[in-house]
Amino acid sequence: MMEEVSDWWKQALRDLESARNALRCGDYYVSAFLSQQAVEKALKALYILKFNDLWKIHDLVRLARKVDAPHNIVELCAKITPGYMATRYPDVGRKYDRGEVEGLLVAAKEVLDWVKKNLNS
């Protein structure tokens, strides 16, 4: 099971780096989506560690609450979650600008830092 946790965690880190690269290229919607994906995969790594199971869900708030994330982390997840739907379904009409995506990356990094502490404890 630890290998599965490691796989999810490593992919979360790769997604976060790809989100940074997309921001540099001006692909803001891609960066928003990959920020969401990084957080989702990180939280799922922690979920697998805690529950020895994979929960197939994309709602970061529910995932964060399930792994007992503190309120500030849950709030960051609420900020990041819309990146999943808005980028997958163009009719949602969500547009991102550079400043907003930079904020999402900062939030995603903070969530991943929290997950890392909990994976290592």
The CATH number covering residue 74 comes to 1.20.120.330
Listed in order, strand segments (DSSP E) in the chain are none
Cα 109 from Cα 79, distance rounded (Å): 13
Q: Per-residue pLDDT for the chain (121 aa), expressed as one digit of tens each?
A: 599 999 999 999 999 999 999 999 999 999 999 999 999 999 999 999 999 999 999 999 999 999 999 999 999 999 999 876 666 666 655 688 999 999 999 999 999 999 999 999 8
Q: What is the pTM of this model?
A: 0.93
Q: Which domain holds residue 14?
A: 2-119
The count of residues in the chain is: 121
Number of structural domains (the chain) is: 1
Which amino acid is present at 96? Y
Question: Residue 121: which H helix or E strand, with range?
Answer: none
**Cβ density class 75-108: b for 16+ within 10 Å, e for less:** ebbebbbbbbebbeeeeeeeebeeeebeebbebb
